[in-house]
Amino acid sequence: LRAPPEDPGRGGGGGRARGRGGACPMSSPGRGAGLYFSGSSGCRRAVRPVLSMWRFSRQLCVHVARGSKLSGLGNRPAAFMSTLLINQPQYAWLKELELREENEGVYNGSWGGRGEVITTYCPANNEPIARVRQASVADYEETVRKAREAWRIWADIPAPKRGEVVRQIGDALREKIQVLGRLVSLEMGKILVEGVGEVQEYVDICDYAVGLSRMIGGPILPSERPGHALIEQWNPVGLVGIITAFNFPVAVYGWNNAIAMICGNVCLWKGAPTTSLISVAVTKIVAKVLEDNKLPGAICSLTCGGADIGTAMAKDERVNLLSFTGSTQVGKQVALMVQERFGRSLLELGGNNAIIAFEDADLSLVVPSALFAAVGTAGQRCTTARRLFLHESIHDEVINRLKKAYAQIRVGNPWDSTVMSVLIFFVFFSFSELRASEAANVLYGPLHTKQAVSMFLGAVEEAKKEGGTVVYGGKVMDRPGNYVEPTIVTDLAHNASIAHTETFAPILYVFKFKNEEEVFAWNNEVKQGLSSSIFTKDLGRIFRWLGPKGSDCGIVNVNIPTSGAEIGGAFGGEKHTGGGRESGSDAWKQYMRRSTWKKINTINYSKDLPLAQGIKFQTQRKLRFTLNKCIILNMTVANSISPEAMIKSTDSFFKNKNKIVTT
């Protein structure tokens, strides 16, 4: 559910900012962080057509597109203001989220913002929705200061009471779930049922965190010394910075925010510039709960911004943990900046995920699973299936079924879908025919930006050059917005460079395989290690897949798609995916520090003083001590008092004073 690298227009706004050495990416083209770095280090190895498009876009200092900077908007003519969707009657529901024509993008207990003004756009028609004033560096400094002050209050509140506040946040989100989900659909571009489902994920993680708030803690461990015990103490890290990408603008923040809060941390959020309205709307809901509980609003701060804010967060020693969701290339830069100050980072980066279907697979599961994993969210999930390995005995049949299934996908405005949409993915492909009225729900929306469309076309052309055959799709749709045809490509080599390049679009590369050994190796040969899935009925094969010589991914599925994580399990991947874990299981440990990192808290409840490892540390004279004479003797004291005289003196003292003395 994360934002991979090749998505142009992703989080960083899809724009470019010029550094000293020339134009350079604000993120992996457009991905979550909004960071940029001088030179060409920000450009990961990519296919030639894609690189040529990057070079073309780098000639522009700033794209006048979604997320681009617009100067002087305060003096824009009334005609421009009236074109904003928020001023049109059919979008009046945006006011329910307290959104306006121009919104302040900084919150630290009060709303403000002294940075650039950006306009966000609807991917379905590329029309402007509303504007957001971003944070300046001065705003960021003030927000960090207030957040750290708020932490001193929040950390003293007992964990179960912190959980009660998080519960109220979940309830507040429930009340706004439909309208907030509609905003996700409007500004991000995913179908409505997915937009609502994303808000539901935040609600679910709040519910999960409430229970966790009464359970977090360290164990009491057995000691090798008699009468001793070891205790692990867990404490909050302090200030948690959260940088999220455009493709899950609510859920990923929720995963981090809810768990970090019950652990006793305060949060500073920088969402993707292209989904700034969502960041503002969510923060308003959370801020109201904090206000009702008479708590500092800076416990959950917001700084909408781009490269300057993202870089400041990565380099700031006051940010005790930085959670970054974005591309692998930008994630590496973030990790280096955080590590340079010996900070902690939680990285959720790209994925190049595979589905493997063996000869004994149930094709009634394989086809809808591959469809949903490859086409859901228009291929813009980090867990999107980008590679499909089919046993040679079923290859042709599955391809034919997939082509028929793809042909039945209804494309349209993402907010036209209903709660039944995703369910249809898994039921209607069982029928040989489907009437139009039965497929009335939109299942497929636009890509997030125009740049993403260009990236899609570049990847399709490169696949053809490398010997691939486009058996379905491959074109831009003739309609307003950023719509492309979901695409199936066959006949590529398993190690083709385009297949190893994560293109953030609905392109599925399909391969034949002969045996288990080779296909397991092919699954693992890409740099990322996020999600993977096999379809088989062979129990032995399933356990080999789950074992040390099977999939090397963080998510290893059997007979289900690569997409669709639940909040109860820890989410994350290996290798170039970053190694971070969010959401459930023991992911809460990422947001806390152990006192055992510095020393083990050991309690002696006996009357003796044994040392670990059986060490004897005694003087030549055998001195005996009792509990009421717990004396530490420094035999090198710069005086002439003998041990015997010291003991005699303290013996006399204890006869008169029933106390424990340390000399």
Token readout for 659 is 């106390």
- Which of the 8 DSSP states describes residue 487? E
Active-site pick, 348, 461, 485, 582: 348
CB burial of 247-259 (b: ≥16 within 10 Å; e: otherwise) equals bbbbbbbbbbbbb
- What is the distance of C-alpha 234 from the center of its chain? 23
Which residue shows structure tokens 């290859």? 395
Token readout for 90 is 């059919």
- What is the distance of C-alpha 13 from the center of its chain? 17
d(CA 413, CA 478): 14
d(CA 108, CA 114): 14
DSSP-assigned beta bridge partners for residue 570: 583
DSSP states along 612-653:
GGG-----SS-----GGG-----TT-SS---HHHHHHHHHHH
Token readout for 222 is 């057995």
Task: Tell me if residue 348 is catalytic.
Answer: yes
Contact 390, 513 (CB under 8 A): yes
Q: Where are the beta strands (DSSP E) in 530-590?
A: 531-535, 555-558, 570-571, 574-575, 582-583
Contact 450, 125 (CB under 8 A): no
d(CA 481, CA 479): 6
DSSP-assigned beta bridge partners for residue 507: 487
Q: At what angle do helices 159-175 and 276-292 cross, to 10 degrees?
A: 130
Return the number of other C-beta atoms located less than 10 Å from residue 230's C-beta. Answer: 17
Contact 626, 271 (CB under 8 A): no
d(CA 388, CA 501): 15
d(CA 77, CA 86): 16
DSSP-assigned beta bridge partners for residue 604: 228
Q: Which of 261, 286, 324 is nearest to 107 (CA)?
A: 286
- Rounded to a whole number of angstroms, the distance between the first and last alpha carbons of the chain is 61
d(CA 196, CA 368): 22
Residues constituting the chain: 663
- Which of the 8 DSSP states describes residue 597? G
d(CA 186, CA 585): 32
Q: Which residues have a catalytic role annotated? A: 348
